Structure 1
Amino acid sequence: MGVNNTSYLCLCFRICSLATVPCLGMASDRPNIILINIDDLGWTDMSNNGSQYYETPNIDCLREKGIWINEAYAGAANSAPSRACLLTGMYTPRHGIYTVGEPNRGDAGKRKLIAIPNRTSLEPGIRLLPGVLKNSGYQTCHIGKWHVTEDPLQNGVDVNIAGNHAGHPVSYFSPYHNEDLTDGPEGEYLMDRLGSEAVDYLRKVDKTKPFFLYYATYAVHTPLQAKVDLINKYKEKLSTSAHDDPVYAAMVESMDRNIGRILDEVQALGIEENTFIVFTSDNGGVYGISRQWPLRAGKGSFYEGGIRIPMVIYQKGKYEKREICNMPVMQFDLFPTFLEIAGVRQSDLQLDGVSLLPLLKGKEEGFKGRSLFWHFPAYLEGNEKETVETGKDGFRTRPVSVIRMDDWKLIENYETGNVELYNIRTDISEKDNLALQNKDKRNELFDLLQTWKQKVKAPIPTMLNPEYGK
């Protein structure tokens, strides 16, 4: 791929001693929470994590100030199921959203199995993160892409700006054709507008009570639309074989600028020491737009390029200035993390994640040897560019289940019954399938995967597709 893998492997800093976290439970002790969830931003789509073309100075600064988690994963390889995992704290078989829309996607003649039915919205009875925080005294605001139900206001959100079931904007320029966002002046740019809405919320929210701000900008999802001056800037800039689209680069910069506005406002308001900030993305980058080398493939795939995501956590004076390497975590770990820092105890919630606070404090017990899982009983097609590295004959993925434990990752294919085994530590690009060479590790992970599927009642596609081969 023309990339030196070692240049992307994080340099682990010495774990610094952190200030003791005060006893939680009193309103004055409960920090504000800002969750920034970018759409389709790949693991290398930042100038401090591999890109020599995109410019992200504000995210870079946040990473330098905060804690970078090198092996963070989304709960799924595309947006609706990933966001459902994040907001419910549960694996996909528990909430039933596996993909976006129809699960039997792609050429019917090339699909051997009939996919498991897919939910397109979360069931009304499932409790979501904003509602749990709201019931515990938090003010809640959502800005941008929601995508998991029709109306965030029915799921514990006090203030909703631009969020509904839509997976992408009709236009990044006003008029937006979004019933949950009033149009601005003609030509107003959506990212700038949502950034302004976030800054305005921060200025007006009651500072005597904690707040939860979920800033889930639609960017940098398609359609690729950006401001002309930035597009021209990147047309003149030297691109790379991995990153070469000037419109996408311009979108990344606009996204970064508005994150900078939010972070600057937090600092200006004097609430940086009492605000817990998370920056992340919902899945890997779109391979046809932005390659994630040395990671393999991209959005929609369960190779690293589709599910490994950036993650930075920062709270001034508490969680800052280091990196956590070689310790896989999943995005749904944020749900119990937020509950712990908020002093919320909800024993009746079914959460598959664990609080990251011990890890953020340098305690690795409970994280080493931990298994993470993915289940995708469906088909997701891809164009010629998107499927270059999946080897899936026109599909970004076919029905699979996946387990990641320590250095190892196993992928089970339901069409063939075959498995792939990779050592992610030594083979971040997933080039060498070790399933035949290391049968002991293959069998160990395979057995753990089967046990997990039984535990969560994961539905397995077994019905043959009568259109297959025609």
Structure 2
Amino acid sequence: MTTRIRRTCAVNLTATALPLLSICIFASAATPAPPAGQPNIVLIVADDLGWGVVGYNGSFVRTPNIDRLASQGVQLTHFYVSPMCSPTRVGLMTGRYPMRLGLGRSVIRPWSPYGLPPELQILPELLTTAGYRHRGVFGKWHLGHLRPAWHPLSQGFTTFHGQYNGAADYWTRIREGEMDWHKDAEPLKEKGYTTELIADAACEFVKRHAAGGPFFCYVPFTAPHDPFQAPDKYLAAYPSTAPANDNAVSRDRRTLAAMVTCLDDAIGRILQTLHDSGVADKTLVWFFSDNGGVIRLRFNGPLRRGKLTVYEGGVRVPCAIWWPGVIEGCRKIDVPSINLDVMPTLLRLAGKTVPSGLDGVDISELLTSQVASPPRRDLYFFTGHLGLQREQIAIRSADGWKLVVTGPDIRESQGFRTPEHQVELFRISEDPYEHDDLAAKHPDVVEELGGKLIAFRNSEPSGAMPPAVEPPAGFKPPRYWRNQPETRRSAREK
């Protein structure tokens, strides 16, 4: 694979547009000091934001602030995630494939009694020991909510303002008949549109702790995940997409465009608050989406398919990082990376030794132009949200191949070699849109990569979370989705 780091400034912006497998092969020994002191960290995650919806990838949707991050900082043009919400967040917080934690098959649904294993030390807990006293999460948690041990305040965060589940109404925050909106552990009745409320809370956190940094501000927005709802002022900005015949797809495309521009404005407010608080130059901002966009709305192009698939449109997403003076320069980095890399990279930049046993790798030297490429590695993708008979699993190999297998669980005796399995092989380094299936021409590559997929699928522990698409009989959510965090959080910080 040829590594390319390109310097481009195609977007014209103004300053005001604001048992462990072989997959676990990278470990860090002694960690040198961060390149420019400990940065404040603002980690922004969009929800269901497809590759083709942002302005800097050629969209008609107006995203000047996201474009600014890409233009002033660094774009990771081959940045990968899981094909759906919760697994991506699991990997982000742990640096591990969610498969290995039993959380890779599906999202954590409102009625699912599952969450992050409390014995794991996740990103905010590790940042605690690096001197990050203030660690806030603002937006969608989606990592477990029915037990105290899964609450954000039990997992290393010092403040939480947002919702436990996804897909709540943007004006009422209602999910399954109960309001899901909280300040720390208490339900909070608050008027307004969710995207703007999340930005309000994040900006207030920045202002409150700018003088006492470094801080960690995690902002997992709910937008533009459905339900498709947007303020009127943003809908008015896209009259040309309003359908003459009120077609549902066109109507939802218009609303999603409005939601994305509202999201972009919210990101712009966070950037402006960093500037006004005097800490913009001391802050690393990392932006990406948790998975591709909904297929029917066609915002993933030119990539194939979208959310809930392991094709490129489902797992390759927009990603930009900016730390003025350190990670900048209007560069495009084509080296494949993955959300699992966020945790070790941020720990390294915070001056913290990266734990062993992670699947993600530290790419900080790639971001800061100290190396041209990290060691080559395979990347894995999986979804089992439709059950054991309709799984999708894929590998992007270190040497530029991608094998996609769809069908029954490949841990069975015949693996992927049954009439029920669809097996596709792409030379992804040369065919990024997955047009040409080369499986019949390269059976040796299929066998080699298929064996790796079977090994990866076998990394799932017993008792893994099932898809559970429908709620169990008689399920009723807690009043206001109330969940009290465990008091052991304070002990961890001492």
Superposed pair shares fold, TM > 0.5: yes
Distance 1:322 1:133, change over 3 A: same
Q: Which residue of 1 aligns with 2:400?
A: 407
Distance 1:242 1:90, change over 3 A: farther
Which string of whole-angstrom CA distances, capped at 9 and with x for unpartnered residues, describes residues 434-469 of structure 1? 011123333332333344445x357799xxxxxxxx
DSSP 3-state at the match of 2:328: coil
d(CA) in 2 for partners of 1:197 and 1:159? 10
The count of residues paired between Structure 1 and Structure 2 equals: 405
Deviation at residue 356 of structure 1 after TM alignment: 1.1
1:81 aligns with 2:76: no
d(CA) in 2 for partners of 1:137 and 1:325? 30
Q: Is the 8 A contact 2:125 2:157 kept in 1?
A: yes
Please give the residue correspondences for 1:362-381 in structure 2 after superposition, counting only pairs within 5 Å: 362=369, 363-367=371-375, 369-379=376-386
1:94 aligns with 2:100: yes
Partner of residue 33 from structure 2, selected from 24, 49, 53 = 24
Distance 1:459 1:153, change over 3 A: closer
Deviation at residue 179 of structure 1 after TM alignment: 4.0
Deviation at residue 377 of structure 1 after TM alignment: 4.2
Partner of residue 130 from structure 1, selected from 112, 124, 129 = 124
Deviation at residue 427 of structure 1 after TM alignment: 2.1
1:283 aligns with 2:291: yes
- In structure 2, give the amino acid aligned to 1:360: L
Please give the residue correspondences for 1:67-466 in structure 2 after superposition, counting only pairs within 5 Å: 67-74=74-81, 76-97=82-103, 98-101=105-108, 120-138=114-132, 139-150=134-145, 151-164=151-164, 166-169=165-168, 171-174=169-172, 177-181=179-183, 182-185=188-191, 188-205=192-209, 207-236=211-240, 245-347=253-355, 350-362=357-369, 363-367=371-375, 369-379=376-386, 398-405=390-397, 406-415=399-408, 416-453=420-457, 456-457=459-460
Listed as ranges, the gaps of 5+ residues in structure 2 are 10-30, 146-150, 244-248, 409-419, 465-494
Q: Is the 8 A contact 1:377 1:459 kept in 2?
A: no
1:44 aligns with 2:52: yes
Deviation at residue 253 of structure 1 after TM alignment: 0.6
Partner of residue 6 from structure 2, selected from 7, 13, 17 = 13
Deviation at residue 243 of structure 1 after TM alignment: 10
d(CA) in 2 for partners of 1:309 and 1:258? 19
Q: Is the 8 A contact 1:40 1:284 kept in 2?
A: yes
DSSP 3-state at the match of 2:296: coil
d(CA) in 1 for partners of 2:330 and 2:135? 29
d(CA) in 2 for partners of 1:203 and 1:326? 35
How many percent identity over aligned positions? Answer: 32
d(CA) in 2 for partners of 1:231 and 1:263? 24
DSSP 3-state at the match of 1:162: strand
Deviation at residue 338 of structure 1 after TM alignment: 0.7
Which string of whole-angstrom CA distances, capped at 9 and with x for unpartnered residues, describes residues 386-435 of structure 1? xxxxxxxxxxx931321102422111234334421012233222121101
Deviation at residue 346 of structure 1 after TM alignment: 4.8
DSSP 3-state at the match of 2:70: helix
d(CA) in 2 for partners of 1:441 and 1:175? 48
DSSP 3-state at the match of 2:380: strand
Which string of whole-angstrom CA distances, capped at 9 and with x for unpartnered residues, describes residues 237-276 of structure 1? 589x999721111101100001000011112222122111
d(CA) in 2 for partners of 1:398 and 1:325? 34
Listed as ranges, the gaps of 5+ residues in structure 1 are 1-10, 17-21, 103-117, 382-396, 462-470
Distance 1:300 1:315, change over 3 A: same
Distance 1:127 1:119, change over 3 A: farther
DSSP 3-state at the match of 1:48: helix
- In structure 2, give the amino acid aligned to 1:352: D
DSSP 3-state at the match of 2:237: helix
d(CA) in 2 for partners of 1:238 and 1:180? 35
Deviation at residue 218 of structure 1 after TM alignment: 1.0
Q: Is the 8 A contact 1:300 1:380 kept in 2?
A: no
- In structure 2, give the amino acid aligned to 1:319: I
Alpha-carbon RMSD: 3.0
Deviation at residue 14 of structure 1 after TM alignment: 4.3
DSSP 3-state at the match of 1:236: helix
d(CA) in 1 for partners of 2:173 and 2:213? 35
Distance 1:281 1:175, change over 3 A: closer
Distance 1:23 1:273, change over 3 A: farther
d(CA) in 1 for partners of 2:395 and 2:32? 36
d(CA) in 1 for partners of 2:205 and 2:156? 17
d(CA) in 2 for partners of 1:147 and 1:375? 18
d(CA) in 1 for partners of 2:287 and 2:403? 28
Deviation at residue 48 of structure 1 after TM alignment: 1.3
